């Protein structure tokens, strides 16, 4: 609380004339008001939450739930008379230190592969496991089957990423892949087609990793959108939330969402239905989408079927 009060004092001392409240909650509204700025622009009262609108004095037009969030934010630019860009550039740049950290971790993973493993960046896929809501999380056995299929069909290696709180989920995925240690002279198994970087990367380092890979797979969670922001194609899995509002920018055509009556429910936990919305998005469905992606994206080098 003391840090927040200090922050408010600091921004008020700057005497801003204009504030854009790009969140919709009471804290952002109060912060906007506390700046003392004469013009405080926020979301339309019909779209705001927690009485956020009380603290602002100008508003962007109301939008319905079918409008993508990124287009919703563009309305702030429209109100200010700014030109709409043809394509957004999020401006990510990575330091040599961040690049070196990623290279080191991948080298350590590569050292644990079989000697003949044909590993390369362009033969690697990010698995963005987990999500803040239990209702958004895909299933360990599904991830494990997908690891096997990607490797067996195209020789693709899967790199598991996530924060430290998703360690248990990563372990469950590996448990599903555990077919024993390879015997002497045996080539890499399904288990060794997956590399574990869960909890080992900062957000910037994660962005650096994403900038190198073939594509990513994940549900509605922050790193999924980070991957899209650095230009990586993302196959996204949707159930509890709406892809119409929040599909990864530039990868809207790669969305996978099951047609069930209760989706989207916007509930943090599935009410006893076993996450049926995500259960219907099987590894085979994802593989079909991956095949279309690999076939239609010619900007990266050709991946040949793995024998």
> For 101-150, how does the pLDDT look when each residue is reduced to its tens digit (9 = 90+)?
999 988 888 777 766 678 888 899 999 998 889 899 999 999 999 999 99
pLDDT of residue 40: 97
Residue 177: pLDDT over 70: yes
Alpha carbon of residue 162 to chain centroid: 10
CA dist., res. 133 & res. 207, Å (int): 22
Confidence band, pLDDT 50/70/90 cuts, at residue 300: very low
* Residue linked to tokens 């159930």: 239
Residue range 97-296, CATH number: 3.40.50.2000
Confidence band, pLDDT 50/70/90 cuts, at residue 178: low
pLDDT of residue 191: 56
2-79: CATH class: alpha beta
Which residues does residue 201 pair with via DSSP β-bridges, in sequence order? Answer: none
pLDDT of residue 68: 84
pLDDT of residue 297: 57
| pTM of structure | 0.81
pLDDT of residue 299: 38
- 64-78, 181-195, 206-220, 263-277: which range is least confident on average? 181-195
pLDDT of residue 114: 67
pLDDT of residue 69: 85
Instruction: Please state the rounded mean pLDDT for residues 205-222.
Output: 94
- 10-14, 137-141, 227-231, 271-275: which range is least confident on average? 271-275
In the chain, CATH 3.40.50.2000 sits at: 2-79, 97-296
pLDDT of residue 184: 37
pLDDT of residue 46: 93
Residue 241: pLDDT over 60: yes
Question: Tell me: the pLDDT tens digits for 52-103?
Answer: 999 999 999 999 877 888 889 999 999 999 988 888 888 889 999 999 999 9
Instruction: Please state the rounded mean pLDDT for residues 239-267.
Output: 89
Confidence band, pLDDT 50/70/90 cuts, at residue 302: very low
Q: What angle do CA 292, 157, 141 make, to 5 degrees?
A: 85
CA dist., res. 174 & res. 112, Å (int): 15
């Amino acid at each position: 609380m003391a840090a927040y009060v200090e922050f408010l004092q600091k921004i008020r001392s700057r005497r801003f004339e204009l504030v854009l409240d790009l969140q919709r909650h009471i804290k952002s509204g109060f912060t906007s008001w506390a700046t003392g700025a004469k013009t405080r622009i926020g979301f339309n009262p019909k779209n705001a939450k927690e009485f956020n609108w009380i603290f602002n004095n100008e508003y962007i037009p109301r939008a319905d739930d079918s409008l993508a969030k990124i287009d919703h934010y563009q309305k702030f630019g429209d109100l200010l008379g700014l030109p709409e860009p043809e394509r957004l550039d999020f401006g990510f740049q990575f330091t040599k230190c961040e690049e070196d950290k990623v290279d080191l971790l991948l080298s350590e993973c590569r050292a644990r592969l079989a000697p003949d493993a044909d590993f390369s960046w362009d033969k690697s896929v990010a698995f963005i496991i987990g999500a803040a809501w239990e209702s958004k999380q895909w299933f360990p056995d599904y991830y494990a089957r997908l690891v096997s299929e990607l490797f067996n069909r195209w020789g693709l290696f899967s790199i598991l990423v996530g924060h430290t709180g998703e360690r248990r989920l990563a372990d469950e995925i590996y448990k599903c892949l555990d077919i024993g240690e390879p015997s002497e002279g045996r080539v890499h198994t399904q288990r060794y087609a997956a590399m574990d970087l869960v909890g080992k990367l900062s957000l910037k380092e994660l962005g650096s990793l994403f900038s190198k890979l073939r594509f990513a797979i994940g549900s509605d969670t922050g790193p999924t959108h980070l991957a899209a922001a650095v230009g990586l194609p993302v196959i996204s899995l949707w159930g509890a939330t709406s892809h119409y509002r929040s599909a990864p920018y530039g990868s809207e055509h790669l969305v996978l969402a099951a047609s069930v009556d209760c989706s989207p429910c916007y509930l943090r936990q599935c009410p006893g239905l076993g996450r049926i919305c995500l259960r219907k998005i099987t590894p085979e469905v994802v593989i079909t989408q991956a095949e279309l992606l690999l076939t239609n994206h010619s900007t990266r080098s050709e991946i040949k079927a793995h024998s």
